[in-house]
Amino acid sequence: MNTQTAPSPQFYLTAPATCPYLPQEMERKVFTHMVGERAPELNDLLTQGGFRRSQNIAYRPACETCRACISVRIIAGEFSPTRSMRRILALNSDVVSAEYPAEPSSEQYSLFRRYLDHRHQKGGMSDMSVLDYAMMVEDTHVNTKIIEYRLKVEGDGIGKAKGPLIAAALTDKMADGLSMVYSYFDPDMSHRSLGTFMILDHIRKAKDRSLPHVYLGYWVKGSRKMDYKTKFLPQEHLMARGWERYTGESAATT
């Protein structure tokens, strides 16, 4: 009988670099590779421990002087949308979502490119090529889906939705929830609040599958563009003593 155990993951530390969210701070990350048969199990454990996935890499902040990045997960079973969120759901009642294997398409990349050019011109992903996008989607050893959001057109309901693609999310399914790895949307449809709509749709999907959590990645305290994550209550934040319930000191309730 073979009693040899699988090797433990090896962790590495990046060199210091300017923080993209708090420019006055320097960031470092600890990371490891997730490949092979154990990758789904490892992804579950690391995500629950505050890591995020990017392709086959799991990483988390390991900054020397800053603790602003806080892992956030929504408690899906207890979630109830606010009045403004219900308005967003109603506004997007003509949108259908469908899950597919983690395979890229030219239509996805075209929307992704428009999103980056409009919203993240100076970000670290701003120069991603079609090959880079394909790697972002395909390079996974865990249970990953690409969820497409399309406007309803006549004939939808049988087979693949045929309307224009207006948003997409790369999502990992884990034992205890859904992890939103990356999402993007049509920048010309800002009135639809598609970013919020996709989170609300993931909460619905988690409830339908009896999964307790939706993982949103990091909330960066002090970064205004991250404040939206604290609006989805109730939620938990990963603190020094573990996951703690966050009630929202200044979160909107209307």
What average pLDDT is seen over the chain?
89
CA distance linking residue 158 with residue 203, whole number of Å: 25
CA distance linking residue 42 with residue 26, whole number of Å: 28
pLDDT at residue 223, rounded to an integer: 80
Domain CATH for 87: 3.40.630.30
Residue 213 lies in a domain: yes
pLDDT in tens, 15-70: 999 988 888 889 999 999 998 889 999 999 999 999 999 999 999 999 988 989 99
Residue 51 lies in a domain: no
Residue 163 lies in a domain: yes
pLDDT at residue 23, rounded to an integer: 86
Residue 234 lies in a domain: no
| Residue 119: domain span | 73-217
Between the alpha carbon of residue 42 and those of residues 31, 38, 211, the distances in Å are 13, 6, 18
234 cis-preceded (ω within 30 degrees of 0): yes
Residue 34 lies in a domain: no
pLDDT at residue 11, rounded to an integer: 93
Reported as a pLDDT band with limits 50, 70 and 90, residue 161 is: confident
Residue 2 lies in a domain: no
pTM for this predicted structure: 0.89
- Among residues 124, 141, 132, which one has the least CA distance to residue 108? 132
Between the alpha carbon of residue 31 and those of residues 72, 185, 210, 224, the distances in Å are 19, 28, 30, 26
Structurally, the chain folds into a number of domains equal to 1
**Euclidean distance between the first and the last CA atom of the chain, given in angstroms as a whole number:** 61
pLDDT at residue 65, rounded to an integer: 87
pLDDT at residue 249, rounded to an integer: 58
pLDDT at 121 over 70: no
pLDDT at residue 126, rounded to an integer: 67
Cβ-based neighbour number of residue 131 at 10 Å? 10
Helix (H, G, I), strand (E, B) or coil at 42: helix
